[in-house]
Amino acid sequence: MQKWNFILDVKLCQGCNNCFLACRDEFYKNDFPPYSRAQPRHGQKWISVKQQERGQYPRVDVAYLTTACMHCDDAPCITKSDGAVYKREDGIVIIDPEKSKGKKDIVNTCPYNAIFWNEESQVPQKCTFCIHLLEEGWKMPRCVQACPTDALKVVKLKDDDMAALVKSENLERYRPETGSKPRFYYKNLYRFTTCFIAGGVAFQDTDECAEGAIINLKDASGKVLDTVKTNNYGDFKFDGIEKNSGLYTIDIECPEYSKLTVTEEVSECRNIGVVFLERR
């Protein structure tokens, strides 16, 4: 059986919120029985874009993480809802708007805070994967259709084929420790969840950018973790470093100049500034 899955490339998401607006346009004031009641005007984000700033001026970047119902295979909302929430054979999790009426406690079962309470209709609500459109022949939900950078996609695959895609594309689940086995996967998730060490290199004698300098990143044991070269501005960056992961050594080398070593304790993103190499 083929099942639906979301995939978000964090590197491509620009935080435009088109996905949220498309979802609101589709579901505000619109009932789609037997899958959903209309969204209220305020207070619900069936798809949400989180923002994470990293680094210190001037070496700063921003990452965006789109989240929605993860349509989990071991969804707590299903096990704790007494039949009011169910998973379809195609992997989509649905809150029955009739059986769930008055059951506000369902909202708190979601580890991703993706379920909302509709006070007027007295029902819990969330992303339905636009199942009403898929049943009409659509190939994707409205949020995916509205994404201008193709950061958000959906695929419908057998579990074995999805597992192969996860491996080949280095896809990850966000907060896998929840144990709910979400069907929402992320590419380049490190942009949102990890740290970087960045800086610049210049020549002391000429005060020019040190393009092509070789930079080695080492852990506390002296093992080389990564090697990069400075760009034409003399800048370098090591990304994907775990937060609070300890002490790192940065060795900087360039022909005709003395080797320079910098040590940094990494609890969050670090900008080491511009360092100057002295001619030998």
For the stretch 29-70, pLDDT in tens is: 999 999 999 999 999 999 999 999 999 889 999 999 999 999
pLDDT-based confidence at residue 195 (cuts at 50, 70, 90): very high
Alpha carbon distance 45, 24 (integer Å):
8
21, with CB counted inside 10 A (0-12, 13-18, 19+), is middle
Q: What is the pLDDT of residue 191?
A: 95
38 DSSP assignment: P
Q: What is the pLDDT of residue 157?
A: 98
For the stretch 115-142, pLDDT in tens is: 999 999 999 999 999 999 999 999 999 9
For the stretch 203-219, pLDDT in tens is: 999 999 999 999 999 99
Instruction: Check if the beta carbon of residue 155 is closer than 8 Å to that of residue 7.
Output: yes
Per-residue burial over 212-248, b if 16 or more Cβ lie within 10 Å, else e, is: ebbbbbbeeeeeeeeeeebeeebbbbbbebeeeeeeb
For the segment 91-110, the average pLDDT, to the nearest whole number, is: 97
Domains present along the chain, CATH in parentheses: 3-192 (3.30.70.20), 195-277 (2.60.40.10)
Residues 6+ apart with CB under 8 A from 17: 49
* One-letter amino acid for residue 62 of the chain: V
